[in-house]
Structure 1
Amino acid sequence: MPTQGLAQEKIKIACIGNSITEGPDNYPTPLAKMLGDKYEIGNFGKWGHTLLRKGDHPYMSTEAFVNAQKFQPDIVIIKLGTNDSKPENWEYKDEFQLDLEYMVRTFKHCGSKPKIILCRCIPAGNNLYGIRNDVITKEIYPIQRKVAKKFHLKLVDLYTPFEQKVDSTYYVWDNVHLNKKGSCILAGYIYRAITGKKFTK
């Protein structure tokens, strides 16, 4: 009787982020459907959290951050920075690059030695909740580019595809959070960053 081959292990993807990652209309859900059964998606998003360790709700102080490392991912998607743009958080802007590098190094030292992908923040309209689009574009994005270059990481531009849609139905209710349609579009860009191919139904 022939010996059956062992089942191939799934490629594990840890999604790190805030409400765009954790919320009801999150992007990891459609991303999982796009990628199929060969992948396992771990959603480690935390609503309203910051990359900054001195932010009002620092992501790196959460159990989600610990669990993401225990997940032993093959790929890590980091989509943080939006909540850091609030005045009370951006007070510590001089530490943003240091903290981003710390997060990258932490995941690099995971036993699984994952590939890390950084994401540029999507646009934020009307400066709701204190989130400031000018900080996202003029200050946070240049730091993300610098860190991506330093560590030779892929940086996915999620800002440009939504730049002209801030006040459209691509957003749920407040020009900050994506609805299902917008999240599917965002997931498509992540899919392309992971596979190198454009998603087609």
Structure 2
Amino acid sequence: MGSTEELGTKGGKGVKGVDVSTLTSEASFRKMASQGVKFAIVRGYKSTGEVDPHVEATVANAWAAGMKHVDVYAFPRFSKGDGAGQVKALVQALKKTRYGMVWLDVEGPGAHWGSSQSANAAFFADWVHGAKGLGVNLGIYTSKSQWHPIMGSYTGGSSFPLWYTHYDGKQSFSDFSPFGGWTKPNIKQYAGDVELGGASVDLNWYPS
């Protein structure tokens, strides 16, 4: 478990944020805000193929604590199929909830996705099609090491904002190299499994 000191590690000006995968209280978010955290991204759909039952409460707690932006991320279940149906379930569960973007999580080759890159790409395209049909403001969470074994040379996600991961502890895009059709990122997840405000979070950054 990392320390809260990691929030201020190597980097320059920018906006700091967290993502969470468990129920997180307003008090915890307030403590994070007092340490410079401005945005939160909350898990909305679990890799088990169901809406996270804590997403509405955690999103509400983040807003109540004064977060400037609150988004949701979805970890899809490839083996369950029906990507469009999965995003529809998430959006329906959030119909009374205020949030910004939905980030589609593409990671876990071999564990959470299929062995066929073409089948993975087809599922991804179905998910994206469903999101577009529902008017979702969509982004993609992934990294070069995750995207390539899952999707191969597929570039069907590159028109959407990219939230990439590299645990180098640096609030900077200087480490980024193009992949999957993306030439520049939007958000970086630069540290994981950090204790902050009494909660377990990942740390994120984007330039202001």
Q: TM-score, normalised by structure 2?
A: 0.44
Query: Higher relative contact order by CA 8 Å / sep ≥ 6: 1 or 2?
Result: 2
Q: TM-score, normalised by structure 1?
A: 0.45
* Structure that is richer in helix per residue: 1
